[in-house]
Amino acid sequence: MEGKAVKFGGTSLCDAIQMKKAAEIVRADPKRRVIVVSAPGKRTAKDEKMTDLLIRADKTSSETEREALFSVIQNRFDEMIHALRLPLDFGMEYKTMRNLRGDALISRGEYFSARIFSVLLGITFLDAAGCIFFRADGTLDEAKTRAVLSEKLSRAERAVIPGFYGSMPSGDIRLFSRGGSDITGAIVADAMDADIYENFTDVSGFLLADPNAVACPRTVPVVSYRELRYLSAMGARVLHADSILPLRKKQIPVVIRNTNDPHGAHTWVVSRKEKGIGGIVGAVGYTMISLERAHVGDDGEAVCALLSVLSSHGFSPVLLSHEPDTLNVLIRYCDYEKADKIAVAIQQELDAEIVTVRGGLAEIAIAGEGFTGEMRASVWRALEKASVRPLFAASVTESFSLVIGVSESELSSALHAIYDALIAYI
């Protein structure tokens, strides 16, 4: 089945107006054959995502609150149906929804969104529960999914599929991790041997930096699968990191577009790119734990012991660096009390002479194919000029990425300085 796989994010489907825009985009190109949809997102900054409403309804122990949340959820879908003038009545399905719990309940945002969008377009609705399958251990059954999905898609001229979920061998609904509609879109693109996977969101392509941190950042016209997966894993919020894997394997090009400006600036994601910066990501909430002991940096068993201590406390390292007599490990979102417990365990397990804990750190990740020495020098000069003092730096692959640590209070200054230094290299 040739053609394009298309995915619309939650902001693209947040209300009737946005749904109409998305429908116009689909109708404008007959090659847009299979559409994956998210649950409705926020309509305004103070609004709540549909998925968050469903999660709250699932978690609350108050029947009064649960009923109130269901009323909000149902009214929002009914408002869309009424505004779009669609012949839909979810009355019986709303009653069924009220008895659901866990993943089955949380998935209803995508389910109802897809039902509405398929009727709006007048095309086939395919429930993800009947064509995306997980094994008993919770991992995706790729072979079964591809076989069933390919067969069903071959019998549909065009189709809408809800993202974010599939089914277990028992028939129970199971969710992907948050943002998993991107994964569904990639699975669909693979199963239909798509020519292109178009991902529509609320920004004009993949931006060089987070627009919440840097005003009006430039769109990066081309990024590689490698750059996008790395930056997504480090916190970039355009595509789910795991959605890149099936696309990269089949070398299906991705186009990231803005639903509100579909012909405007956009980003191509491709298998190979000669050189240039892919993006800059910054995030707060990190803690650095350092231990000192003679020759510990050259002791492989000490590294294993350190990782074991972290794992026993529910943490994995974001970054691990060493010097001859020092090991440094960066971890996420650790409060001081828990960090102190980890430090005590490290001191006991590794017989460390000194263990220090430093919280309140921010991490900046930069990635780019052919990340040159000239680019690195530009970064260091920019930070020096901005009077930002890096607290740590590391490169897993010197010609591809650079991770820099700064205090949280200096993150904004650092991001602006790095952005200005690297904008010429996109």
Residues 6 or more apart whose CB falls under 8 angstroms from that of 111 comprise: 127, 162, 165
Please state the rounded mean pLDDT for residues 39-67: 96
| Position with higher pLDDT, 349 vs 68 | 68
> For residue 1, what pLDDT is reported?
63
- Residue 127 banded pLDDT, cuts 50, 70, 90: very high
Query: How high is the mean pLDDT of the chain?
Result: 93
**CA atoms of 235 and 314, how far apart (whole Å):** 20
Report CA 424 to chain centroid distance, whole Å.
Answer: 27
Dihedral of CA 14/17/22/27: which sign?
positive
> For residue 407, what pLDDT is reported?
95
> For residue 409, what pLDDT is reported?
95
Dihedral of CA 281/283/286/288: which sign?
positive
**CA atoms of 405 and 403, how far apart (whole Å):** 7
Rg (the chain; Cα; Å): 24
* 191-230 per-position pLDDT tens digit: 999 999 999 999 999 999 998 899 999 999 999 989 988 8
> For residue 311, what pLDDT is reported?
92
User: Domains of the chain by range and CATH?
Assistant: 11-196 (3.40.1160.10), 279-425 (3.30.2130.10)
Task: Find tokens 């409403």 and name the residue.
Answer: 53
* 59-113 per-position pLDDT tens digit: 999 999 999 999 999 999 999 999 999 999 999 999 999 999 999 999 999 999 9
- Residue 239 banded pLDDT, cuts 50, 70, 90: confident
Res 396 pLDDT > 90: no
> For residue 297, what pLDDT is reported?
84
Dihedral of CA 133/138/142/143: which sign?
negative
